[in-house]
Amino acid sequence: MLSSPQSNQAIDQTVVVGSFQCNCRILVCPKTGHTVLIDPGDEPGKIIQRLTQLKTDSGLPLQVKYLFHTHAHLDHIGGTREVCEHVRAQELLAEIPPTSPLGTARPALIALHQEDEFIYQMLKKQGEMFGIAYDEPLPIDHYFSDGETLEVGAMKFSVLHTPGHSPGGVCIRLHEDSALGIRESLFSGDTLFKGSVGRTDLWGADQGLMFKNIKDRIFTLDEDTRVCPGHGPETSVGLEKRKNPFFN
């Protein structure tokens, strides 16, 4: 998938944010400008600046339709409120009719699996553990369900519920579309990394369940599937099946 604007192919860029170095992904449909953010975990100003620059460079009418969250730990949700409020305010100022496939009039829908909602609501408490002050989180607009499909412009996503790192942890699958230059991709959050896996010493974590879900739900995907973790470099399903020390 191309990462440069001004083309007929999807825009896929990473903004690395915060002291935890979370990979916030920006995915833009070149046909509509409809945009998805995945895990806007920190430094909302940095994310907003990148969105503004992309809009200028691409000439597309960027509209953030969703903020997808792979789970609700603070390094993946810490920038959500400010980014969301900015996007919603800008759309109102621009008088862009904020529509969505879910039939709501609200732009920038916050999406998370319901089993992580209790962690999401603990954002202020999570911040206190690290000396970080947060406002209360905004309401969740959409609860992911396992296997559901969401279309954003011409981009097609599906949800894999992969609990273990957290009870409501999900992986977001972006389906291949050669016309848009999209390679089959999996945004794995903190479930699977290059050469490693997520920690399981936090709220509601389950190491055995995480390993089972990686083997049964991720390693059964096509080996060429690109894996884009919440931290660190990209990898592939095939590479992790063969080389990840937790499974070999």
Sorted by where each begins, the domain ranges of the chain are 11-243
Q: Residue 81: pLDDT above 90?
A: yes
Closest residue by Cα to residue 159 from 100, 91, 213, 98: 213
- Segment 45-62 shows an average pLDDT of 95
- CA 152/CA 157 separation, integer angstroms: 8
Task: Note whether 218 and 198 are within 8 A (CB).
Answer: no
Per-residue pLDDT tens digits for 106-129:
689 999 999 999 999 999 999 999
H/E element holding 218?
none
CATH number of the domain located at residue range(s) 11-243 in this protein: 3.60.15.10
- CA 88/CA 85 separation, integer angstroms: 5
- Segment 94-104 shows an average pLDDT of 46
Tokens of 39: 């895990």
In angstroms, how far apart are the furthest CA atoms of the chain? 54
At 106 the pLDDT is 63
Q: Residue 92: pLDDT above 70?
A: no
Tokens of 104: 């709501």
Task: Note whether 159 and 191 are within 8 A (CB).
Answer: no
**Residue 100 Cα distances to 26, 31, 51, 105, 177, angstroms:** 18, 16, 19, 7, 21
What's the whole-model pTM score?
Answer: 0.93
H/E element holding 125?
helix 123-129
Tokens of 198: 């997520």
Q: Which of 54-58, 95-99, 237-241 has the highest mean pLDDT?
A: 237-241
Q: Residue 105: pLDDT above 60?
A: no
